[in-house]
Amino acid sequence: MIFLCQRITALNRLLFTGAKWLVYAIVLLMLWEVLSRYLFNSPTSWAPELATLTFGPYFLLGGPYLLHLGGHVAVDIISEKATGSFATALKLAGLVLAAVTGAILLWFSLPLVWQSFSYGETSYSAFNPVIWPAKAFLPLAALLLLLQALADVGFTLSSQKEAA
């Protein structure tokens, strides 16, 4: 079981490592737009929208690995004072909530992506790209969040067994 938990975490780490570089693509797109607009007096219709569509995967693929790192904003007034089995119970409760959130997002986002794909939905802008690929990152990230939460439950329970 621990091997599977490690593989899930390694996959999320790999996706996080790749996704963090997307911020540079966003910066380059916005730089191109600013230069085109103010230096060449020829604004683009595609650069701002492409930057916006790129931000989704950047944001979503970081979440599952940040869950593992404990990098999300947390109100830890109680958990920082908790020790022993109570601290473990609080951690497990948070992971269960993360898993439920991932499952709900996955359940409700999959039909929306399928509908977008089947209709060939576009943004209806001047650039007018097909947007289902950007939408597809939500159920992917939800699945990864669900899996990472379950993997972290496995890590937590395993460390409890070793401590006992």
Angle at 87 between CA 74 and CA 6, to 5 degrees: 80
pLDDT score at 69: 87
At what angle are helices 137-163 and 84-119 packed, to 10 degrees? Answer: 160
| pLDDT tens for the chain, residues 1 to 164 | 889 999 999 999 999 999 999 999 999 999 999 999 999 999 998 999 999 999 999 999 999 999 888 877 776 777 777 788 888 888 899 899 999 999 999 999 999 999 999 999 999 898 999 999 999 999 999 999 999 999 999 988 888 777 66
Instruction: Give the residue extent of every domain in the chain.
Output: 2-163
d(CA 73, CA 75): 7
Burial readout 2-37 (b: 16 or more C-beta within 10 A, e: otherwise): eeebeebbebbeebbeebeebeeebeebeeebeeee
Longest dimension (CA), the chain: 69
